[in-house]
Structure 1
Amino acid sequence: MSETESASIAARLDRLPPSRTVWTIVILISLGGVFEFYDLFFTGYVAPGMIKSGLFSPHSLGFFAALDSIRIAGFGTFVFSTFAGLWVGVVLLGHLPDRFGRRPVFTWSLVWYVGCTAVMAFQQTGEMLNVWRFIAGVGFAVQLVTIDTYISELIPGPERGRAFSINQFITFCVVPVVALLAWLLVPVRPLGFDGWRWVVLIGSVGAAVVWLLIRKIPESPRWLALQGRQDEAEAVMAMIERKVCAERGRPLPPPQPVPAQEHGSSRFRDIFSAGYGKRTVMLSVFNMAQVIGFYGFAAWVPTLLIARGITLTHSLEYSFVIAIANPIGPLLGTLFADRVERKLQIMIGLVVMGLAMLAFSQSSSPVALIILGVLFTLAANVMSYAYHSYQAELYPTRIRARAIGFVYSWSRLAAAFAGLAIGYFLGAGGVPAVAIFIAIAMVIGIVVIGVFGPATRGISLERINH
């Protein structure tokens, strides 16, 4: 298929008006992403239960106990295994959506999650628990990369920010669910089975149900066109256009020309080629910085509350209250996602996160801690949907998934070691030391995005990457 014909598919996608047809696809894709967030966030909420089960004694940890020499011990080995698996998966598998398509990688990574996480729930030693946690992370890591790629390619430029805010609203709705489940189940043993195991298994069952719903999602027409699969791209595009026309009861507006994108294979070195190398370095540094605040707070919030003098039971209760704010941030974002430049949304979110964390570290009142935790969470999730949209916009279709996977992998790697750093700072200087660490990371993120990030609001993917 010629570059002209590929550009024609892109132009036809970009002229689509808001419609139930396209938004249904976005919602179904988002449901697939729910369980990456469930998986990531249950890490912090089930920690007290796992520790109580005695899984992290040196004897139970087996060869993982050797990590104590680099100050990875106890529950820290589980956090490390989580993000190490996600990092290895993104690095090794991040190119698969560019090679085999968005749809198959999206659906089968969910199957991987269901199987590996279910096996993990029945492990009786910390050693095997961590092994299966790592394996699950390797296979499931590519899921969010694929989702970002998928949505960016389906939605016209003027609605792209709103699409990502809706996507993250749906995925973050699971965070208060997992927090509630942990609050209710972790302190008890229903049917003689540890409560934390129930929390893990519920996620696997839910993911299996969602897999049944998403099997009919179409492949990205942009990707099909770039692969020269003209008939398939035309079939998907015609189906979408036909449904949108039927909804509106009138013909679609004529497509506006967009620049043709270069065809070719997806090679690793291409993400460092002229025009993209600076973006790759910028986003890699940014991902390392933002994750320190995002998961540094989310994964440690029960522990941070305990460090501020809150009991275990109340820390889980307060964590649930804070978790309710997770979907509210992206929901608020629907009001301004495409009205405010993407990079500015990211920077404001980082500013609020840093200030809220510093205030959190100086508070002892339960009410103040909850309010500041909610404020931090709202800002973090506005920042999150904005940057997921942003980094997907900054690369062409042929290398989009590979590039997102690479830059996003640095957040996984940083999260693995940030958890160790936060544990160290918490022990050495308490919550104030953790707050300073997070605030410094937020400043780094603000600088790299503010200085080196291009504008993308309302611009077609092809023009951003021309």
Structure 2
Amino acid sequence: MAVAASVDPVVNTPGKRRYLDEARMCMEHYKFLIILALAYAFDQMDLFTFSFVAPALTKHWGVSMEWIGVVNSCTFVGMLFGCWFGGWLSDVIGRRKAFLFSVAFFSTFSVLNGVAPNKELFLVFRTLTGFGILSMVVVAMVYITEILPAASRGKWQAISLATGLLSVPLIGQVAERIVPSSPDGWRTIFFIGGTGFIIFALALGWLKESPRWLISKGRYAEAEVVIQRFMPDVKVDIKNEASIPVEGAVVKKDAGTIVALKEIFSQKYARKTSVLITMVCCITVGYFMFFAWMPTLLNEFGFTLEDALWMSALVSFGSPIGNYLAATVTDKGGRKIPIVIYSVLVGVMTIAFGTLKIPMLIVGIGFVIRVLMDGVFVVMWSYLAESYPTHIRNSGTGFIYSTGRLLTAGAMIVVPMIYKSFGYTILFFIIGAMFLLTAVVTGIWGEKTAGRSLDEIA
């Protein structure tokens, strides 16, 4: 696997143009963002469908709360391997091809979820859906970071995800009506998620390969063509203007996954990697402990299936709102400050949430928590995707992101145990504590990344 020089000539050559970082938003950028937003829409739809379906499977298939925990856990195990695979694949064959493969994969298995004849095959299909979902997410978060201008890449990451997340309350409203309508009403929800093949068709014509990846492979002429599409009014001449190879750059041999992992844990990146692992694990585990289990926990807590579904559906409207609001602050404070503020607010409010028993209060506070959790989640995505150099950016991002999914897989099994042993309130106290830990670690040891060139950060 070819690796970039230690200095990325597209973004940081003294006295020369930083093409991608300095580009103005144009039609090619917006077409790129439309594809990513639509992919996020189907991705998030597939991710959250099971939380709406689970109570119905308990009723019609007679499955236990523990089995639901196993399905959630296996889904996150699939996500774990999807993170690794997507990160590795996009560093080997490119961001575009890896993205297309991932979209086709999770769309196929979403449909298969809907036709599963028994709980054993459903478990297998759900696990493979998780694999495809996170393979796509890891590729997409880095793809956006590499293509968009430095001053606004965080904002556009948040806007594209927020637009995609409009699908979550939409599927919540559909589920509220369709799932209780018949014993097989839940199957329709998965068929809707499978229409992600529409994205695949559009992406074939609209998506261009990341110039940074092309340069990391020594494919400079192809990179020039792509950059020119994003900067039509500027003459692009990488070799003459960016001086490849840059003086002092060291061109490395192909680096596999093991070499990439050694690099992110080397002395140079050790502190950064430790902060990112803590942040990703706490935010990811806390997020999914809260929202993947919310309908089921409310149902177990004494609310009817219908009440649990409408309360969860209303709360889900906070998801896109949270990301749109995050777009206004993500590029401020170096990304570090918004993460700290968000995490403190989420931690305090989640602890309070565990004491609520009045439905409208649960919906109101849950909505605010959803706004804040989704906000910090998307800021974390940008922060993570900016942290490593091009030749290991996706592999490093995929590995770090997968640690959160690995712990979430375990947490999905542990949630019923905590609930039955310690109760509803203690469960939400634990989730709140995770976000407070994120605030402390990021505030003390995190670095500021927003608005800086990727090479400077790396």
TM normalised by structure 2 equals 0.90
Q: CA RMSD in A?
A: 2.5
> Which residue identity lines up with residue 200 of structure 2 in the other structure?
W
Tell me the residue number matched to 2:137: 144
Cα pair distance change 1:251/1:135, threshold 3 Å? closer
Bigger CA drift: 330-339 or 377-386? 330-339
Distance 1:228 1:316, change over 3 A: same
**Alignment counterpart, residue 111 of structure 2, candidates 114, 118, 123:** 118
Residue 195 of structure 1 is aligned with which of 169, 182, 185?
185
Q: Structure 1 residues 364, 395: CA separation in 2 closer, same or farther (over 3 Å shift)?
A: same
Is 1:379–2:386 an aligned residue pair? Answer: no
2:281 to 246, 267, 288: 288
Structure 1 residues 2 and 165, CA gap change in structure 2 (3 angstroms): closer
How far apart in 1 are the matches of 2:7 and 2:430? 50
Bigger shift: 101-110 or 112-121?
A: 112-121
| Aligned counterpart, 1:215 | 204
Alignment of 1:168-247 (within 5 A): 168-189=161-182, 194-205=184-195, 207-216=196-205, 217-242=207-232, 245=233
The alignment covers a number of residue pairs equal to 440
Q: Is the 8 A contact 1:272 1:280 kept in 2?
A: yes
Q: Provide the rounded CA distance (Å) in 2 between the counterparts of 1:443 and 1:414.
A: 18
> CA 1:176 to 1:262, structure 2 compared with 1: closer, same or farther past 3 Å?
farther
The corresponding residue for 1:463 is 456
Q: Which amino acid aligns with 2:425?
A: P
For residues 365-385 of structure 1, the C-alpha deviation after alignment (integer angstroms, 9 at most, x for no partner) is 222111100110011011011
In structure 1, runs of 5+ residues without a counterpart are 58-71
Cα shift readout 1:267-295 (whole Å, capped 9, x = no counterpart): 33222234223222221222221122211
Task: Give 2:336's match in structure 1, choosing from 325, 343, 347.
Answer: 343
Contact 2:209 2:226 in 1 (8 A): yes
One-letter amino acid matched to 1:316: L
Deviation per residue, 1:207-257 (Å, 9 max, x gap): 011211111200001110111011110111112211xx3xxxx999xx999
Deviates more, 1:113-122 or 1:262-271: 262-271
CA contact (8 A) 1:263 1:398 kept: no
Question: Structure 2: which 5+ residue stretches go unaligned?
Answer: 13-17
The aligned counterpart of 1:400 is 393
1:18 to partner: Cα distance: 3.0
Q: Deviations over 1:165-212 (max 9, x none)?
A: 1122122111101211211111122xxx7111110111002x011211
Structure 1 residue 439, shift from structure 2 partner: 1.7
CA distance in structure 2 between the aligned counterparts of 1:299 and 1:332, rounded to whole angstroms: 23
CA distance in structure 1 between the aligned counterparts of 2:280 and 2:5, rounded to whole angstroms: 33
Deviation at 1:91, TM superposition (A): 2.8
Please give the alpha-carbon distance, in whole angstroms, between the structure 2 residues aligned to 1:2 and 1:199. 43
State the partner residue of 2:15. Answer: none
Identify the match of residue 355 of structure 2 among 362, 369, 385: 362
Superposition pairs for residues 99-114 of structure 1, below 5 Å? Answer: 99-114=92-107
Are 1:158 and 2:158 counterparts? no
Give the superposition deviation at 1:40. 1.5
Give yes or no for contact 1:97–1:401 (8 Å, CA) kept in 2.
yes
SS in 2 for 1:362: coil
What letter matches 1:235 in structure 2?
Answer: V
Cα 1:400–1:17 shift into 2, 3 Å: same
The amino acid across from 2:430 in the alignment is: F
Calculate the TM-score normalised by the size of structure 1: 0.88
CA deviations on 1:18-46 (whole Å, 9 max, x unpaired) are 33431331221222222221122112111
Give the Cα–Cα distance (whole angstroms) in 1 for the partners of residues 137 and 251 of structure 2. Answer: 25
Distance 1:4 1:319 in 2: 48
2:422 alignment partner, one of 403, 421, 429:
429
CA contact (8 A) 2:280 2:380 kept: no
